[in-house]
């Protein structure tokens, strides 16, 4: 998909997501280029007074900066007893609204905020829709920087290939939490995501995985023929 078309579809999804935002809401604010559109649009609505008394809980340093720039008031996770709605992007979305997230490096805080939210709304362009997780995007896994080879072998036993995420300057990528990220590629996708997630959650040294299963309630996909809203069935 051409980059400028993808940006238009992301903005379309972000615009549609604003219809779910009401005055007085506490919003979880995800991370990534699609969320950047949402923050920009939300900032405009707050500036014009079309929306009032909305506060956000950012999931990354990047989002903190972008939200401040857009004039959105911020609080921290735990400052409010509830999060009404989280709006976030995704790297892959399955037909059941299971997700791969974390190519933006913020999966730990994104999962923490999503798990504390009454509703989770995912926005994306239609290219993120897949039949099986792991077919287009690697699966990011945040790990402590000791004993990584054990995780690499574990992923190999699952038929995948794990590599430590690097930055363009040749240094290891570090998350906002100071951890490393493993990007795990599976040539035929992930056959049993729930089983893989359970095993990852049981592994010491794994901080969090980018499998977001039964987390999203709604997804809005930007498409050539307009936004499509999908609800989770189970």
Which residues contribute to the site for ligand 5RP (CB under 6 A)?
Answer: 30-34, 88-91, 101-107, 110
Residue matched to tokens 């905020």:
113
| Long-range interactions of 199-204: CB distance < 8 A, separation 24+ | 199/154, 200/141, 203/151, 203/154
Alpha-helix runs per DSSP H in 32-96: 33-48, 61-69
- Name the minimum Å distance from CB 223 to ligand 5RP: 15
Which DSSP category does 172 fall into? B
Q: What is the spatial distance between Cα 234 and Cα 231, in angstroms, rounded to a whole number? A: 9
DSSP state string for 28-50: EE--SHHHHHHHHHHHHHHHHTS
Closest CA to 138 of 177, 179, 101: 101
Residue 110 annotated as catalytic: yes
Q: Which position among 110, 126, 142, 197 bears the catalytic label?
A: 110
Instruction: Give catalytic residues, as residue numbers.
Output: 110
């Amino acid at each position: 998909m051409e980059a400028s078309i993808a940006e238009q579809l992301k903005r379309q999804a972000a615009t549609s997501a604003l219809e779910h935002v009401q005055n007085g809401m506490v919003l979880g604010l995800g991370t990534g280029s699609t969320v950047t559109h949402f923050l920009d649009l939300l900032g405009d609505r707050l500036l014009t007074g079309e929306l009032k008394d909305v506060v956000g809980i950012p999931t990354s340093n990047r989002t903190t900066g972008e939200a401040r720039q857009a004039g959105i008031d911020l609080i921290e996770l735990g400052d409010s007893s509830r999060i009404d709605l989280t709006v976030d992007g995704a790297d892959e979305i399955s037909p059941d609204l299971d997700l791969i997230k974390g190519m933006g490096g913020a999966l730990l805080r994104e999962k923490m905020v999503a798990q504390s939210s009454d509703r989770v709304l995912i926005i994306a362009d239609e290219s993120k829709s897949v039949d099986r997780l792991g077919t287009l995007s690697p699966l990011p896994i945040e790990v402590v920087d000791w004993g990584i080879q054990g995780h690499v072998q574990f992923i190999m036993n699952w038929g995948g290939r794990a590599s430590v995420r690097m930055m363009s300057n040749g240094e290891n990528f570090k998350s906002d939490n100071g951890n490393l990220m493993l990007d795990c590629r599976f040539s035929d996708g992930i056959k049993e995501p729930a089983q893989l997630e359970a095993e990852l959650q049981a592994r010491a040294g794994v901080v969090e995985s980018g499998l977001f299963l039964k987390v999203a309630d709604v997804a809005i996909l930007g498409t050539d023929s307009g936004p499509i809203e999908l609800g989770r069935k189970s």
